[in-house]
Amino acid sequence: MPEDRGRALVEALPRLRRYAIAICRDGDIADELVQGACERALAAPPRDDNAPFLAWVFTILRNLWFDRLRRKQTEGVTMDIDDMSELPADADEDERMDARRTLERVQLAIDRLPAAQRELMLLVCVEELSYKEASAVTGVPIGTVMSRLARARLRVAQLAGLDAGAAPREVHT
């Protein structure tokens, strides 16, 4: 069982780090959170519950983050948009600039969401957890997850100046 847990953790590392960066906005802190989550997951006794492994590890990481916030009483540093990966080279300059401005507006809109909505956006839309898994990670009922996420999506569209009712624009990669 510990060998299976270790293998599952290795497979989950990119997703754990991405989630950690998303919640704390600092690569060094994210690395500390991921390391701490892995240490705790490996040291934990065998699990008898049927909760998905990934949701369990995300919960450990999330709890470590909240512990850190309580200790430090600070928020994470915002990641600079220029540190994000570049747009495809085949897009013309106007498309790239338009896409960068849209990305900046969306990032600012997400940053303005209440913490509970922002966290669910990250878990479901970025980390692709199911509503059930996001419910397990956050400890809120699945109906609350769904309603918070719906409100968050609408608010991001409003704040970013996007038409929430229109079909999303196709992105060429």
For the entire predicted model, the pTM comes to 0.51
Look up residue 78 and give its DSSP letter: P
3 state DSSP class of 31: helix
pLDDT score recorded for residue 68: 85
Q: What residues does CATH 1.10.1740 cover in the chain?
A: 2-72
Length in residues, the chain: 173
Class level of CATH domain 87-160: mainly alpha
Class level of CATH domain 2-72: mainly alpha
Q: CA 159, 165, 19, 147 torsion: positive or negative?
A: positive
DSSP codes, 80-128 = PGGGSPPPPTTS-HHHHHHHHHHHHHHHHHHHHS-HHHHHHHIIIIIS-
pLDDT score recorded for residue 151: 92
- Answer for the pair 117, 151: CB distance below 8 angstroms, yes or no: yes
Mean pLDDT for all residues in the chain: 80
Q: What residues does CATH 1.10.10.10 cover in the chain?
A: 87-160
C-alpha distances in Å from residue 101, one per residue of 26, 29, 34, 94: 22, 27, 31, 11
pLDDT score recorded for residue 1: 45
pLDDT score recorded for residue 43: 84
Q: What would the pLDDT profile of 17-58 be if each residue is shown by its tens digit? A: 999 988 888 889 899 999 999 988 888 877 776 778 888 899
pLDDT band at 173 (very low <50, low <70, confident <90, very high): very low
